[in-house]
Amino acid sequence: MAGGRRKKQHFGRIHAFTCGKASFKGEHSLIGGPGFSRVVYCNDTDCFEASVLSYNSNYVRTTKYTLATFFPKSLFEQFRRVANLYFLICAILSFTPLSPYSALSNVLPLVVVMGATMGKEVLEDWRRKKQDIEVNNRKVKVCRGDGVFDIAKWKDLKVGDIVKVEKDEFFPADLILLSSSYDEAICYVETMNLDGETNLKLKQALDATSNLHEDSSFQNFKGIIKCEDPNANLYSFVGGLQLEEQQYPLAPQQLLLRDSKLRNTDFIYGVVIFTGHDTKVMQNSTAPRSKRSKIEKRMDKIVYFLFFILVLMSFIGSIFFGISTREDLENGRMTRWYLRPDDTTIYYDPKRAPVAAILHFLTALMLYSYLIPISLYVSIEIVKVLQSSFINQDGKMYYEESDTPARARTSNLNEELGQVDTILSDKTGTLTSNSMEFIKCSIAGTTYGRGITEVERALSWRKGSPLVQEVTGEEGQVEDPTEARPSIKGFNFIDERITNGNWINEPRADVIQKFLRLLAICHTAIPEVDEETGRISYEAESPDEAAFVIAARELGFEFYERTQTSISLRELDPNFGKKVERSYKLLNVLEFSSSRKRMSVIVRSEKGKLLLLSKGADSVMFERLAKNGREFEAQTKEHTNEYADAGLRTLVLAYRELDEEEYHEFNVEFTEAKNSLSADREELIEEVAEKIEKDFILLGATAVEDKLQNGVPECIDKLAQAGIKIWVLTGDKMETAINIGFACSFLRQGMKQIIISSETPETKALEKAGDKSAIAAAFKANVLRQINEGKESLTTSSENSEALALIIDGKSLTCALEDDVKDVFLELALGCASVICCRSSPKQKALVTRLVKVRTGKTTLAIGDGANDVGMLQEADIGIGISGVEGMQAVMSSDIAIAQFRYLERLLLVHGHWCYKRISSMICYFFYKNIAFGFTLFYFEVYASFSGQVAYNDWYLSLYNVFFTSLPVIALGVFDQDVTAKLCLKFPLLYQEGVQNVLFSWFRILGWALNGVLSATLIFFFCIRSMEHQAFRKGGEVVGLEILGTTMYTCVVWVVNCQMALSINYFTYIQHLFIWGGIIFWYIFLLGYGAMDPNISTTAYKVFIEACAPAPFYWLLTLFVLVASLIPYFIYASIQLRFFPLYHQMIQWIRNDGQSNDPEFCDMVRQRSLRPTTVGFTARFEASSKRFGEKLEGVHS
């Protein structure tokens, strides 16, 4: 339909927007003033006036750094971390005589660690850079003078250029629409990249430029646009076009935004007004809120604690050093004469002992720096990136239908996935598929459609009367009538009374005809014909609207063509018994809005009748019926309530005939309201529409099913067994939400429902009173009363171990979220097994999420798929976006994107648990190995009178965290697996280890720290006592500092690596390679480094090859210290495993003893998952079994 030329029509008469007939009033009078100073010289970018205006180029940069800013900005980011700043100070001090080791050995690890982190930043920024290069080098046709259009790159566009954009191309900058392939100069635009909406928007150029249909039309085209300055508002635009001395006002209807796509239109011509970072999409691009996991925050506290220990050790050491130094020279007598205190430097001068103590304090701060793991942050970043890649590559979270894998958009929150306490979920498109199917309808008081919804199946279970009996065959098997016919997306209607044209035999065939005709006409859908098959498909504003048009087509009223002034149908005519083509002149469209809750069209039939066709929510349609139009009202209301109970979305259909005079009067007022440029333009349009949308004749109602996504009930059941609380926040009405709750097993029979509603008799009585302030106060008091009554029920239920469900509507939620009520509301909500918030606005969703997150202090996860869920996703600790049919806005604002709700089960219970276990074990082990190493230095300091003498060679110190012990920790963080994925899902309560933070509690952290201190104590004292006076070589020589240091270091490397081997649950060849490879690499390093020139290797010169390796005592001592250091951990782990096993250890028993297939034993372990407050179908089955057992007991007694 975008092809041929059509007779020129004023499409502005049809849609509610202005078409260039407005005058310069209101905001347009501001043009030229502050904020409205932009001037664009159309098709004349080289003129002098344009050249002096230094507007941004169209080059877009989304990278974090440039070549010039990379080093300063990146270094600033690095040194914002306190640990890195500390190591920088140590590195600077290492160039002074205060340093206990060489400068190079201290600086190099810092450079390596920071280099790795900066390298990661470069890699991530390079990916952004490649994306920028691709976008900036896209091609578009640009007018180069004389009406010739050449191909140019997006980045080369200038303000004022005329561009030609063709079908399915993106707009390269913000443009003013000049003309299109339609004579009416309209075009269809998809704004999914901007606002997440998949529906097409209609734009129209000014009449003054609408005749520019050819390239050559722009040969002499010149104009000046004056408009607002760049801003972030997507939905407003104020400007004016000066063309041949005439002024024309510009509105948002002429504005085409960058990153929108041209659809259903062959081409458009537009003039560039905003480029690059001035475009509205770039003005809206803000960095997302930075989120940090709770483990990372606790890790910072541990680092601060270690800083405190480090400073304390340095302080104590400096005091003792000061006392010893002062006592070195008393009354001219030297105590430690071998140190020559009478002839020394300031660092050891007994006469200036306080100064020496202060200088020693600085030395000690540098010496004990190995307590702080320098490579911790970079190791965790590496591990998290690799963990994220495992999530991205998990084939079991790949949705084949849309070719969508899971995608971790940030790696910061991996371990947080294992600690989620509350999930806050949207309903439509998240729990349900947002794939609407026409399933039932009520026409002339008769209900049609025999399909059974999933909610009805749940209701049948709930009421104990299985609906499947209605559609079962002789063998008791369910017959699926849909198998006999091809599946049609959007249409799941089964009723032989009106399908296949049989409706003409129904008693009220005339009403059915009007009903189906209304479905085929009252919409804004656009037909698209498949050139190969001739099949018509529809581009609609919403899935509901597409379902209606498809239903009309399947029932005999096929909408096949739309022009700007007509809608053409192929109708089944009951008089002729065959399809005939009819065209309806489209006069006006009264568009749907959330406040109007209805949509209407005014058409003229071929017979000249003026018809107003309308469809809308029952709450607004029934009150607009004429007295003579209420024939089927009672039956239709009953049916719509039944449909709502079945979880269906309902709309009421009605019509009326208009007389010419009434329509003429309406059209004048409506046109005037459309052309208004005042701030209350929308209100004016609604007021005019309100006057004519009355006295309707009721035809019936439609019911479409938003089907549950596959696997949703099973997923909810598993998450509930894992102890995760699930709240549903939806914009749907209460009845629909409750019934979806039953289908998902959020709610179950026998579960007491606490309903806080604004639709109470007291509220209705208040509303009739009239005084707004009094109504608000009384309404709030009424909500508070309902909440307090709910709390009383909560107390009773906790005594009886009953589960409660809280259901609250949006109006009541507004009061419940006020400062003086929200704590009471939250207390009630937290005590309930299920919480459903109905009719919630996007802001309310975000506020509820914030309330739960802040007041409970526990991890919250929000999941949604639409633009209305963005606030909720950004407010929660973790935001999960579902890449559904509501666009990509939610995904773009999320931390992790998945294609289906059911993948949340694997994401949390498997990946979440693994990531939490790995990261917490990794951090504990990191601190353990650093404490073990750091305390050997401290003990040697004590042994050496706090002289600042280091036990180890400089390079031993430097490479400890970088090479000899870091890789095994990274392998632990990436590959360790305490429980297989299958068992994680089989025993969902395992997930509570993360929620309760069992594996990263202060008890566990301090336990590992104590283990580190114990290992250091055993290593130091065994080494020092056994080697102090012992002949070490064949010649009888005792050990020197270099041999003692090498032996102690060997013991540390063996102990911390073998401790790692004991801690690992799941060995891979990579872990073997890193653990044993780290130990072997230590010996290779000793050989290589010891063979270097003594000026380089210093105390390590041939120490291994000549002293340690030939001495059996060295090897025996290493073995003895290794066993002695690991025995305490081994004893503790054995006792804990035998008498106080953690849940994952119980599951490991099951696996190791071969009992994972023993149903009785597994059920015994799994029963811990089920509590009275658990939701899900397993809990529902348990509850019904319990009730059945109680009934049997009552019968027998």
Residues designated catalytic: 426
With contact defined as beta carbons under 8 Å apart, do 719 and 988 qualify? yes
Q: Please give the single-letter amino acid code of residue 534.
A: G
Select from 455, 379, 316 the least CA-distant residue to 938: 316
State the greatest distance between any 2 C-alpha atoms of the chain, in Å, as a whole number.
Answer: 131
Select from 1190, 1189, 1184, 1187 the least CA-distant residue to 745: 1184
3-class SS letters over 906-922: HHHHHHHHHHHHHHHHH
Cα-to-chain-centroid distance, residue 859: 14
Cα-to-chain-centroid distance, residue 228: 34
The span from the CA of 806 to the CA of 790, in Å, is 8
The span from the CA of 854 to the CA of 834, in Å, is 20
- The DSSP H or E segment spanning 528 is strand 526-529
Continuous H helices in 451-606? 454-463, 509-521, 543-554
Helix axis angle, 1002-1027 to 1041-1063, nearest 10°: 150
The span from the CA of 843 to the CA of 869, in Å, is 9
With contact defined as beta carbons under 8 Å apart, do 559 and 521 qualify? yes
Q: Please give the single-letter amino acid code of residue 31.
A: I
With contact defined as beta carbons under 8 Å apart, do 444 and 945 qualify? no
Query: In this structure, what is the dihedral angle of CA atoms 904, 422, 737, 847, given to the nearest 10 degrees?
Result: -120
Query: In this structure, what is the dihedral angle of CA atoms 784, 788, 793, 799, given to the nearest 10 degrees?
Result: 150
- The DSSP H or E segment spanning 333 is strand 333-334
With contact defined as beta carbons under 8 Å apart, do 815 and 762 qualify? no
Strand order in the sheet with 186-190: 200-204, 186-190, 261-263
Structure tokens at 686: 């609604």
**3-state secondary structure at position 200:** strand
With contact defined as beta carbons under 8 Å apart, do 697 and 654 qualify? yes
The span from the CA of 967 to the CA of 961, in Å, is 9
The span from the CA of 675 to the CA of 681, in Å, is 8
| Residue 721 φ/ψ region, left for φ over 0, alpha for ψ in the -120 to 50 degree band, beta for the rest | alpha
The span from the CA of 852 to the CA of 850, in Å, is 6
Burial of 709 (0-12, 13-18, 19+ CB in 10 A): buried
Select from 540, 441, 444 the least CA-distant residue to 494: 441
User: What are the distances in angstroms from CA 593 to CA 143, 590, 682, 830, 856?
Assistant: 39, 9, 10, 35, 37
- What residues contact 630, with CB distance under 8 A and at least 6 apart? 698
Q: Are strands 834-837 and 859-864 parallel, antiparallel or unpaired?
A: unpaired
Select from 915, 902, 954 the least CA-distant residue to 744: 902
Q: Identify the DSSP state of 252.
A: G
The span from the CA of 330 to the CA of 326, in Å, is 8
The span from the CA of 1120 to the CA of 1115, in Å, is 9
**3-state secondary structure at position 676:** coil
With contact defined as beta carbons under 8 Å apart, do 627 and 607 qualify? no
